[in-house]
Homo-oligomer: A and B are copies of this chain.
Amino acid sequence: MNKVININQKLSLFDELWTPKIIDEFNGQQLKLAKVKGEFVWHDHANEDELFLVIKGKLSIEFKDKTVEINEGELYIVPRGVEHKPFAEEETHILLIEPSTTKHTGEVIDKLTVEKADRI
């Protein structure tokens, strides 16, 4: 049987940046937590929407035609196939939801790419 998951307790278990950790799965989607600061890489996910919920801080996502700012208690869905580059000026904690098959840098292989996320 499943367990109740406390988001802040799970966030206390790691410090690495841009390294999403899987905390649970449902309906083929993975729930991940990540700590981010600075810039990520431009990428897209051809067949998967990606949900970002900000737990603490502020996440910006740059698109080719605009930039959105997502503050604590706000969420945003990046539609499949749309190129984007997340960045955060200060350390920011986010909950991500995306299909179990999604690689976080999309088809772009970068030094930031994590081949297989840990489960915590």
How many A residues are at the interface, by size bracket? 35 or more
Across the interface, do B26 and A74 meet the contact criterion of CB distance under 8 Å? Answer: no
User: CB-CB < 8 A to A31: which residues of B?
Assistant: 51, 75
Asked if A48 lies at the interface with its beta carbon under 8 angstroms from chain B, I say yes
Task: Return the contact of A48 from the options B27, B69, B76 (Cβ within 8 A).
Answer: B27
Across the interface, do B76 and A4 meet the contact criterion of CB distance under 8 Å? Answer: yes
| Among A5-13, A14-22, A35-43, A108-116, the stretch in contact with B | A5-13
Asked if A83 lies at the interface with its beta carbon under 8 angstroms from chain B, I say no
The 8 A CB mask of A65-85 against B (1 = contact, 0 = none) is: 010111101111111000000
Measured CB to CB, the nearest residue on chain B to A48 is: B27
Task: Return the contact of A51 from the options B4, B26, B50, B79 (Cβ within 8 A).
Answer: B26
A26-B97, A27-B29, A27-B99 given as contacts; is B75 within 8 A of A5 (CB)? yes
Docked pose: A58 CA to B12 CA in angstroms: 22
Asked if A24 lies at the interface with its beta carbon under 8 angstroms from chain B, I say yes
Measured CB to CB, the nearest residue on chain B to A6 is: B74
Give 6 pairs: A residue, B residue, CB < 8 Å, sorted on A.
Answer: A1-B79, A4-B75, A5-B75, A24-B77, A26-B49, A27-B29
